[in-house]
Amino acid sequence: MAASAEGPEEAQESRQEPAGLYLDYGYGSHVGLRRELNEDSSVITDTLFAVADGMGGHEAGEVASALAVQTLADGWNRAEGRVSRDQIQAYLGEADQRIREATDSKAGTTVSGALLEDHEDGLSWVVFNIGDSRTYLYEQAELRQLTRDHSQVQDMFDSGLITAEELHSHPQRNVITRALGAGEMWDADFTTAAVRAGQRLMICSDGLSGELTDDEIGRILGAGRNAQDTVDWLIHQSLRAGGRDNVTVVVVDVQQQDVQQQDARQQDVQQHDSPKQDGPPQED
């Protein structure tokens, strides 16, 4: 599958088979109830997923977020999907430069996402973050935020100046301290997590995390719906909670193939690869 950088209103579900596992994913975006433009963008590939939340107004934020995800998609395609952590940082540096040139440094964007990386000792998520878009991991009925917000209120909370409850309501909650295309800080934070069957990874803009609590998000992620239905439900609930900002959500499920699935897929591959088949080669 070629990488695709998505605009605000796209949604679909697909799958890939890494080492006996397969990924089901869904994604979607909504302008919200109080904004005229959707400045969020996302990139969806077989192994790389990310959400960017632009800022700058007058369509400049939309340009910034689109350039961020397009640069990631372009890099993934050039590398034919074999991307490392160092390459992600290089792509982000390239995106920063492209945004500054396109907007005269008057717009910026957050970006958060995850890369599925295959090592000798197994698969891992390489999670990256700039700004206050977030990546979460839901596993064994527990929700864990894998990223730390680069925001003024997060710094205040870490310093003990405000409470966890004030994070959602503080007047400075939208002031970020790190972004692509603007300011002096744009390096990403990275973290890793082992990949296991049964995991559910979620990436979102602050249009979701600013409206729903972690408990509310965890309840929806754990309700047993498939990835795309879960995305749609999360977006719906964020709108019901106020919809004050654009909201974009990506959900990726890690699932184990059973024996019958693996046999069926192997048979399908053999059928397509058989030199005895008549006519032109078929494509999936």
pLDDT tens for 135-183 read 999 999 999 999 999 977 665 766 667 677 766 666 666 778 999 998 8
211-269 pLDDT per residue, tens? 999 999 999 999 999 999 999 999 999 999 999 999 999 999 999 987 445 555 544 43
265 backbone dihedrals φ, ψ, rounded to 5°: -70, -40
Angle between helices 85-103 and 60-78 (to 10 degrees): 140
Q: Which of 3, 158, 144, 160 is nearest to 72 (CA)?
A: 3
Q: Is the pLDDT of residue 31 over 60?
A: yes
Instruction: Enter the pTM of the model.
Output: 0.84
Q: Comparing 68 with 185, which gets the higher pLDDT?
A: 68
Q: Cα–Cα distance between 249 and 25 in angstroms, integer?
A: 11
Q: How does residue 56 score in pLDDT terms, banded at 50, 70 and 90?
A: confident
Q: What number is the average pLDDT over the span 81-89?
A: 94
268-279 pLDDT per residue, tens? 433 333 333 333
Q: Cα–Cα distance between 53 and 131 in angstroms, integer?
A: 9
Q: Cα–Cα distance between 156 and 197 in angstroms, integer?
A: 37
Q: Cα–Cα distance between 267 and 160 in angstroms, integer?
A: 59
- The hierarchical CATH code for the domain 4-267 is 3.60.40.10
Q: What number is the average pLDDT over the span 27-50?
A: 96
The answer to whether the CB of 78 falls within 8 A of the CB of 284 is no
